[in-house]
Amino acid sequence: MTQKVPTANPRLVRRTAVAIGVLVTIVMVFAAIRVAIDWPNIVAGTTPGDDDFAERYVAYPWLAYLHIAPGVVYLLGAPLQLSRRFRTRHYGVHRRLGRILLTCALISGLFAFLFGVPHAWGGAPEAVATVLFGCWFLTCLVLAFRAIRHDDVRQHRRWMIRAFTVGVAVGTIRIWVGIFEGVEQAISRGTTPGAPDPTMFGIAFWLAFTMHVALGEWWLRRTPALTG
């Protein structure tokens, strides 16, 4: 008798997929904004005038873009890898793509430290959040890789989901920053256009990453028995 593999509630899966789509899109938009602002300056060897936020990206392009570029590749590819349908239909592609995406995620995580800690816009709160959640991100990736090397598909899935929830939290950071900016404008304290308030930026890091780690654990509790 073949054992039936349990599946998650289809409505929950659909809603989660939509949320992931929205968050990945937000990250892509902000990555594109970075490129549009930074690269003309990087190529011309100029500084972006009164934009202090962008100045760090232009001053340290290698550190910044060795974080952003592989991170973007990872975030675009990971949802495909997490799709059960894709994995069952294209297992060979899943394995090959998995190696590429894992490498991208490890590089992005490493450069999150090298750029984000010394040059954090949000100061110490952002730098500490980066170290803590960056270590968690890298640990999840390494444990996911170790699990699959031991043919432990269940643990591989769990660690990959944990890693992805941290990666996609970058979109939620931007949502929090947007909410804070909206509130700040509403109480008319005014903000420098384009530059988020550093304190709020640091708080947004903590809120988003904490929320996502908790959401990841919640998802794993809701779908404990899934093997794929």
Residue 134 within binding range of ligand HEM, rule CB under 6 A: yes
DSSP 90: -
Shortest distance, CB of residue 149 to ligand HEM, whole angstroms? 22
Instruction: Work out which of 23, 66, 81, 108 binds ligand HEM, going by CB under 6 A.
Output: 108
The answer to whether the beta carbons of residues 202 and 123 sit under 8 Å apart is yes
Residue with tokens 């594109």, as numbered in its chain: 32
DSSP state letters, 134-181:
HHHHHHHHHHHHHHHHTT-HHHHHHHHHHHHHHHTHHHHHHHHHHHHH
Helix residue spans in the chain (DSSP H): 10-44, 52-59, 61-82, 84-89, 91-116, 123-149, 153-167, 169-186, 198-222
Instruction: Work out which of 20, 23, 66, 72 binds ligand HEM, going by CB under 6 A.
Output: 72
Shortest distance, CB of residue 151 to ligand HEM, whole angstroms? 26
Q: Tell me how far the alpha carbon of residue 29 is from its chain's centroid.
A: 13
Instruction: Work out which of 48, 98, 116, 216 binds ligand HEM, going by CB under 6 A.
Output: 116
Shortest distance, CB of residue 44 to ligand HEM, whole angstroms? 20
How far apart, in whole angstroms, are the C-alpha atoms of residue 200 and residue 179? 10
Shortest distance, CB of residue 203 to ligand HEM, whole angstroms? 13
Shortest distance, CB of residue 223 to ligand HEM, whole angstroms? 22
Instruction: Work out which of 48, 98, 167, 216 binds ligand HEM, going by CB under 6 A.
Output: 167
Instruction: Work out which of 139, 174, 215, 223 binds ligand HEM, going by CB under 6 A.
Output: 174
Which span (10-18, 82-90, 132-140, 145-153) binds ligand HEM, by CB under 6 A?
A: 132-140
